[in-house]
Structure 1
Amino acid sequence: MQITFLGTSSGVPTRSRNVSGIALRPSQRAEVWLFDCGEGTQHQFLRSELRVSQLNRIFITHMHGDHIFGLMGLLASCGLAGNATRIDIHGPADLERYIKSCIRYSHTHFSYPVKIHPVQPGIIYEDNEYIIRCGPLKHRVPAFGYRVEEKDRPGRFNVEKAKALGIPPGPVYAQLKRGEIVTLPDGRIINGSALCGQPEIGRKFVYCTDTVFCEGAVELAQGADVLVHEATFSHVDAEMAFQRLHSTSTMAAQVALAAGVKTLLMTHFSPRYAPGNDIILEDLLKEARAIFPNTEMAHDFMTYEIPRNQELVSV
C-alpha cells in the first residue's frame, strides 16, 4: 500500500505546493485511488510516477473548491486519453449535482462509465481485500474522513507439514490455505489454520481533512498505521482555526495520540507559514512532535510505502 501526495497546500496553490490531492496505490493491483482533487491535480499526475490510466476510484471529502475544482478536468482528460474503463466517485450528496451541472454546461461527454456514490457514515466499499469506511468531520460544510482497511491475510501455508500428514495435493490445499476445516476422504478432520503461520495483519490508512479537532476523527483513525491529517494553522493561531473550523498542528497531533496511530503525516498547510515569516512550517512540525513524536510533514510528490511489517518506509 503506497500513498503519494499530489497537493499539500490549503485554500490556494503556491509555487511549491498544489491544493489537496493524495493518491493511494493498493497492493498488488494496477489501480490508483484518489482522495480529493484540487485544481491542477491532473498536472500533478503528469509530474509524478502515477499512471492516470490506472485511476478507477475517487473519494471527495467535501465540496470546497480546493478539493474539487480539478475533478472535471481530470475526468475529461481520462476520457480523451481513451484509457479509462470505469471510474467510481464517492463523496457528499451534492457531488452528483455538481458533476452533472459541469457536464451539462461544459458539453462534456465521457467515453467511459462514471458512477457517483453519495456517502453516509459507515462502510462505503468492500471487496475481497479491502474495506473502506467514512465518518463525519467538523467543518463549515458537510465533510467526511476516509479509512482504508486492508483485510488480514492467512499466514504462509506449510506444504511440508501437509504432506507429512498424508494430505494429498489438490483443491483441498486451497481450502486449507484459507484456514478452513476440511474433512478428508479417510474421515480425518483437518483445521487449515493449524497448517498456516501467523496471519498477516492488514494495514490501515486514514485521511482526515478539512476539520477542526473532533471525536469523529479520533474514532475513524483508531489504530491506523498512517493518519494523514490536515494541519492548516500553527498552535499560535488556534483562535483562527476554531473560527474557520480547521486544525492546528497540535490538534492533528492530539487526534493521532488519542487514536493510537503509528504515524502522523500532516498536510493542508496555510501559505501564511512561508519561509521568511515569523512562523514557518518547521515550527508546526515542532509543535506536533511535542505531543506526538512520530510526526512527519508532507510535501508535494512525497511517497510513503506501508510494508506489511507495519514499519513505515519513506521513498
Structure 2
Amino acid sequence: MDLHFLGTGAGMPSKTRNTSALIVNLTAEGRGYWLFDCGEATQHQILHTSLKPRKIEKIFITHLHGDHLFGLPGLISSRSFLGGNEPLDIYGPAGLSTWLWSTLQLTNTHLNYELCIHEIAEEGIVIEDEDFLVRVKKLEHVIPCFGYRIEQKPLAGKLLIEKALAAGVPKGPLLKNLKEGQDVTLADGQVVLSEDVTGEPQQGFTIAILGDTKYCDASVELAEEADIVVHEATFDNETGNLAKDYGHSTIGDAAKVAKNANASALIANHISARFLPSDIAKLKKQGQETFENIYIAEDFACFEWRDGKLNEVKNTE
C-alpha cells in the first residue's frame, strides 16, 4: 500500500502546496486507487505523477469546503476520456449529490461509466467486504465533516510450501488454493487442510484519514492503534487560538491525537500557507514534543507501507 499526497495545503493553493487530495494506492492489494478529498486542480497534480485517473475506483470527501472538492467535476469528467469505464463510488456528507449532479447536468458533462454517490447519513461502517472495512465518525469543524478509518482485514498466512509438497500436493493450482485458505483433495482422495500447511494469519494495516477538525474524541477513536494517522496541522502551537476559531488543529493537536490513540505514525498535512519551507523543521519539532514519529507531508510526497513499516520513499513528481 502506498500513500500519494497530491495536495497538502490549507484553504487555497500556494506556490508550494495545492489544496487537499490524497490517493491510497491499493493495487498491491488487488484494488485500484482510493482518493480522499479532491481540491481544485487535483487532476493537474496527477499529471505530474505516474498515477492513472482511470484506476480511481472510490472517492471519499470529508466535507463540502471548496478546497476539498472543487476539483471533483473536472476529475470525474476527464476519467471518461482516459479510459475509465468501471463504476465510480463517491462517499461524502449530505448535499454532495445535489452539488455534483447539478454541476454535471448544467455543464452537459457526459460520463462513460456509472457514478454512484453515497451520502453518509450517520456514523458507522460505510464499506465492508472480504478485504476492507471503512468506518466514519463526525469530527468538529465549522461545517459537517467526517474522518475515515480504513481497516484491512487479516491476511491469510504464508504458504509453507515445503510442508505442502511433503504432504503430496503437486506444484500448480492446488498450492494456490491452499494459500487462499481452501482445503484441497488430492488425486488419491487424501484431503490436505489449508491450516496445516499455512502460517498464522497476518495482521492487515489500519489508516485513519481525518478531515478538517479541532482536537476531539472522535479523532482519537478513529485513530486508535492505527498504523498511520493522516491529520491536519493548519497552525503551529503559537497560533492555537486561530485554530480553535476556525475549527482547525495545531501540529500539537495532531500529535496529541496520535499519542492518545497509541498510533504508530503520524503524517501531518493541510499546512497553512503562512508556513514557508524553512518553517517546516520547526513545525515538526513542535509536534515531536508530544509524539515522536511524525512526518510533514509535502505535495507529491509518497509513503510506502511494507511489512509493517512506513517509509517515505520518493517524490512522485
Decide: shared fold, TM above 0.5. Answer: yes
| 1:156-187 residue CA offsets vs partner (Å, 9 max, x unmatched) | 22233234345678987666545567899999
C-alpha distance in 1, partners of 2:20/2:233? 12
Query: Aligned ranges for residues 114-263 of structure 1 at < 5 Å?
Result: 114-119=115-120, 120-165=122-167, 176-179=178-181, 192-263=194-265
Say how many residue pairs are matched: 312
> Does the Cα contact within 8 Å between 1:55 and 1:87 map onto a contact in 2?
yes
> Does the Cα contact within 8 Å between 1:8 and 1:298 map onto a contact in 2?
yes
Residue 196 to residue 109, structure 1, CA distance change in 2 (3 Å): same
How far is the alpha carbon of 1:97 from its aligned partner?
0.8
> Does the Cα contact within 8 Å between 1:38 and 1:67 map onto a contact in 2?
yes
C-alpha distance in 2, partners of 1:177/1:148? 24
1:99 has 2:93 as partner: no
1:66 has 2:71 as partner: no
C-alpha distance in 2, partners of 1:177/1:52? 32
| 1:89-141 residue CA offsets vs partner (Å, 9 max, x unmatched) | 01112110111111232222222211101123222123332222222111111
Could you state the TM-score of these two structures normalised by the residue count of structure 2? 0.90
C-alpha distance in 2, partners of 1:205/1:121? 17
Large movers: runs of 4+ above 6 Å: 167-172, 180-190
Residue 76 to residue 137, structure 1, CA distance change in 2 (3 Å): same
Q: Tell me, which stretches of 5 or more residues in structure 2 are unaligned?
A: none
C-alpha distance in 1, partners of 2:85/2:231? 30
| 1:276-297 residue CA offsets vs partner (Å, 9 max, x unmatched) | 7xxx333221110111110010
Please say which of residues 160-169 and 29-38 is displaced more in the overlay.
Answer: 160-169
> Does the Cα contact within 8 Å between 1:55 and 1:84 map onto a contact in 2?
no
C-alpha distance in 1, partners of 2:79/2:236? 38
Residue 282 to residue 172, structure 1, CA distance change in 2 (3 Å): closer
> Does the Cα contact within 8 Å between 2:205 and 2:308 map onto a contact in 1?
no
How far is the alpha carbon of 1:304 from its aligned partner?
0.5
C-alpha distance in 2, partners of 1:25/1:171? 28
How far is the alpha carbon of 1:255 from its aligned partner?
0.5
Considering only aligned residues, what root-mean-square deviation do their CA atoms show, in Å?
Answer: 2.4
For the residue of structure 2 that corresponds to 1:312, the secondary structure is strand
Tell me the percent identity: 39
How far is the alpha carbon of 1:155 from its aligned partner?
1.4
Please say which of residues 175-184 and 103-112 is displaced more in the overlay.
Answer: 175-184
How far is the alpha carbon of 1:314 from its aligned partner?
2.5
| 1:29-57 residue CA offsets vs partner (Å, 9 max, x unmatched) | 36211100000101001011211121121
Which position in structure 1 is the counterpart of 2:309?
A: 310
C-alpha distance in 1, partners of 2:292/2:57? 35
For the residue of structure 2 that corresponds to 1:229, the secondary structure is strand
> Does the Cα contact within 8 Å between 1:53 and 1:78 map onto a contact in 2?
yes
> Does the Cα contact within 8 Å between 2:302 and 2:312 map onto a contact in 1?
no
Please say which of residues 208-217 and 189-198 is displaced more in the overlay.
Answer: 189-198
> Does the Cα contact within 8 Å between 1:307 and 1:313 map onto a contact in 2?
no
How far is the alpha carbon of 1:222 from its aligned partner?
1.2
How far is the alpha carbon of 1:308 from its aligned partner?
2.4
C-alpha distance in 2, partners of 1:41/1:233? 23
C-alpha distance in 2, partners of 1:284/1:51? 33
AA partner of residue 93 (structure 1): A
Please say which of residues 106-115 and 94-103 is displaced more in the overlay.
Answer: 106-115
> Does the Cα contact within 8 Å between 2:301 and 2:312 map onto a contact in 1?
no
Which position in structure 2 is the counterpart of 1:15?
A: 15
> Does the Cα contact within 8 Å between 1:202 and 1:308 map onto a contact in 2?
no
AA partner of residue 14 (structure 1): S
| 1:196-221 residue CA offsets vs partner (Å, 9 max, x unmatched) | 12322211122112000011111111
AA partner of residue 101 (structure 2): K
C-alpha distance in 2, partners of 1:42/1:81? 12
